[in-house]
A = this chain, B = another copy of it.
Amino acid sequence: MNLLLLRDDDFLADGTARLVGRRALHAREVLKASAGAKLRVGRLNGRVGSGEVLSATASELRLRVALDAEPPPRPGLDLVLALPRPKALKKVLCAVASLGVDRLFLVNAARVEKSYFESKVLAQASVDELFSLGLEQARDTVPPRLMVRERFRPFVEDELDALLGPKAARLVAHPVAPKAVAVRPGRVALAIGPEGGWVDFELELLAARGFVPFSLGERILRVEVAVPYALGLLRR
């Protein structure tokens, strides 16, 4: 944890913050917080700064908070991702929050197992927790917005254009495609398929909405490796 993430309901009427549970315990046991110490903090969806410890026990942490800086800049990227298996999904949710992805669209695909949509990892509390871990790691405060779509075709045909707007470059990762990719400055929407790849029908639907295929290389990468690799590749 490189930043203590504060939520609106952590703040008391006098402007100080009071934390309980995992974060209080972490501050006390791992960060060795004691009265007078300064901790790096941020307010969920807000600014970052420092928190002066007023008191710290294993069950309660009191802070005087000064939020004086913006969270780190974002790469301006939305990710359309075929829903991974639950174990990989956990890692991906944490990673995309760390990497500053703006919106994560988890979608169905022919090579996605239907049962993945029943995963407890997709429960709101689980997603919030994994995004928080990723934000705390990267010292960010703004989680990705998550949308889960179990029907691929209506999502691509009826929703995606309005969601992405006319200006974002649209790319789809596909092994059999040119390796070079020229991306003009501005927002990017990136689609990454299941480990078995997109099927032709899915590629055609994406192409009809302006998604240009490019290759991550001949190597088939696990999704938790492919996502940061692709984001590094597209960093401007």
Q: Which residues of A contact B (CB under 8 A)?
A: 2, 72-73, 91, 94-95, 98-100, 137-140, 217-222, 224-226, 228-235
Task: Check A99 against B139 for contact (C-beta < 8 Å).
Answer: no
What secondary structure prevails in chain A residues at the interface with B? helix
Contacts A98-B219, A139-B220 known; 20 new A-B pairs at CB < 8 A: A72-B217, A72-B218, A95-B222, A98-B221, A98-B222, A98-B225, A99-B219, A99-B225, A99-B229, A100-B219, A137-B220, A138-B219, A139-B218, A140-B219, A217-B235, A224-B224, A225-B228, A229-B231, A232-B235, A233-B235
Query: A220, A224, A228, A234 — which one has the most chain B CB atoms within 10 A of its CB?
Result: A228
Which residues of the other chain, B, contact A226 by a CB distance below 8 angstroms?
228
Asked if residues A219 and B139 are in contact (CB atoms below 8 Å), the reply is: yes
Can you name 8 A-B pairs with beta carbons within 8 Å?
A: A72-B218, A95-B225, A98-B221, A99-B225, A138-B219, A217-B235, A224-B224, A230-B232
Bound complex: CA of A160 vs CA of B45, how far in Å? 45
Given contacts A229-B228, A232-B228, A232-B229, contact A220 B2 (CB under 8 A): yes
Q: In the complex this chain forms, how many copies of it are found? A: 2
* Nearest-neighbor residue (CB-CB) of A234 within chain B: B232
Chain B contacts of A137 at CB under 8 A? 220-222
Distance in Å: Cβ of A89 to nearest Cβ of chain B: 15
A196–B139 Cα distance when bound, in Å, is 13
Q: A162 to nearest B CB, angstroms? A: 29
Measured CB to CB, the closest approach of chain B to A70, in angstroms, equals: 10
Q: Which residues of B contact A100 (CB under 8 A)?
A: 219
Q: Decide: B98 and A138 in contact? CB cutoff 8 A.
A: no
**A217 vs B139: C-alpha distance in the bound complex, in angstroms?**
12
A226 vs B235: C-alpha distance when bound (angstroms) = 13
